[in-house]
């Protein structure tokens, strides 16, 4: 793969961290962001000449300025990966959890991804990858804002692909739909088909390289997705 300049939003740990390490191994230049700057610095220590760090929260008010600074540091941008996300399944509806989920998965997401898209329009080419979720296919009683916000991300990604086509620009937006990954985000006691972050990161980067529009991680979750899409509400409501 030709050397790329990549920004990963949400790379303190888990999938984001593993993607950064794999990209660095392939001689790419990566900017990683997250709230936990100390974890980002530990990742950078492994590839100091390939990784730069920026500690910021996507719920803040300076997302665009932070993104602009990173692009300047990289001296360009080929791929932006929005991997930041939040969700916390609860039996009772907690307004603060819903607010944080929406601020991270919708507000921060739109601000950063829309800026990157317009940057790529001016450039004439580029790639965006967004980490949505299998959970965005249907509503969920344990995490209503999470499932709704992940659905928003998927539909937004589809809309951007359509817009890029109409603008006749070489821009691809990949919608990454993970199932259960062995990270802190994978909460709950009914998990199955759980895969390690490195395996997930490898499959995601393969999908980006192949310029896929939608990818399920791991690939077997495609089958679950097809079932969820057609499962009658009368049955589904007993499961979620």
CA–CA separation, 93 vs 179, rounded Å? 23
| Residue 119, C-beta contacts closer than 8 angstroms, at least 6 positions apart | 71, 77, 126
110 C-beta neighbours (distance < 10 Å), count: 15
Using 50 as the pLDDT threshold, list the residues of the chain that sit under it. Answer: 186-188
| Residue 225: per-residue pLDDT | 85
| Residue 237: per-residue pLDDT | 85
| Residue 75: per-residue pLDDT | 95
Rounded to a whole number of angstroms, the distance between the first and last alpha carbons of the chain is 41
| Residue 190: per-residue pLDDT | 58
- Write the CATH number for 203: 3.40.50.720
C-alpha distances in Å from residue 155, one per residue of 86, 93, 110, 176: 18, 25, 12, 12
| Residue 126: per-residue pLDDT | 98
Residue recorded with tokens 């691809």: 172
| The dihedral formed by the CA atoms of 155, 161, 163 and 169, expressed in degrees to the nearest 10 | 160
Residue recorded with tokens 């057609």: 230
Q: Which is nearest to 89 in space by CA: 207, 219, 198, 190?
A: 190
| Residue 68: per-residue pLDDT | 96
C-alpha distances in Å from residue 71, one per residue of 6, 47, 56, 188, 215: 9, 19, 15, 37, 27
Q: Is the dihedral of CA 8, 147, 194, 206 positive or negative?
A: negative
CA–CA separation, 141 vs 136, rounded Å? 12
**What is the total count of domains within the chain?**
1
Query: Cis (ω within 30 of 0) for the bond into 143?
Result: no
Structural domain boundaries, residue 201: 5-236
| Residue 67: per-residue pLDDT | 95
The answer to whether 64 and 115 are in contact (CB under 8 A) is yes
The answer to whether 198 and 151 are in contact (CB under 8 A) is no
| Residue 149: per-residue pLDDT | 97
């Amino acid at each position: 793969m030709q050397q790329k300049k990549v920004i990963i939003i949400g790379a303190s740990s888990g999938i984001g961290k593993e993607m950064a390490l794999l990209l660095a191994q392939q001689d790419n230049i990566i900017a990683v962001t997250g709230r936990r700057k100390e974890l980002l610095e530990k990742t950078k220590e492994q590839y100091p000449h390939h990784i730069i760090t920026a500690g910021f929260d996507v719920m803040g008010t300076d997302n665009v300025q932070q993104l602009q600074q990173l692009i300047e540091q990289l001296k360009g941008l080929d791929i932006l990966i929005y991997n930041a996300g939040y969700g916390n399944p609860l039996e009772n509806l907690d307004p603060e959890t819903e607010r944080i989920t929406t601020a991270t998965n919708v507000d921060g997401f739109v601000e950063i991804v829309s800026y990157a898209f317009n940057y790529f329009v001016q450039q004439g080419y580029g790639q965006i990858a967004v980490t949505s979720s299998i959970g965005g296919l249907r509503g969920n009683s344990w995490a209503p804002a999470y499932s709704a916000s992940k659905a928003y991300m998927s539909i937004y990604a589809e809309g951007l692909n359509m817009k890029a086509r109409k603008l006749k620009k070489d821009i691809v937006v990949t919608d990454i739909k993970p199932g259960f990954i062995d990270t802190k985000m994978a909460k709950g006691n009914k998990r199955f088909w759980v895969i390690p972050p490195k395996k997930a990161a490898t499959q995601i980067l393969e999908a980006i390289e192949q310029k896929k529009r939608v990818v399920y991680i791991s690939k077997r979750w495609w089958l679950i997705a097809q079932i969820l899409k057609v499962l009658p509400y009368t049955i589904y409501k007993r499961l979620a």
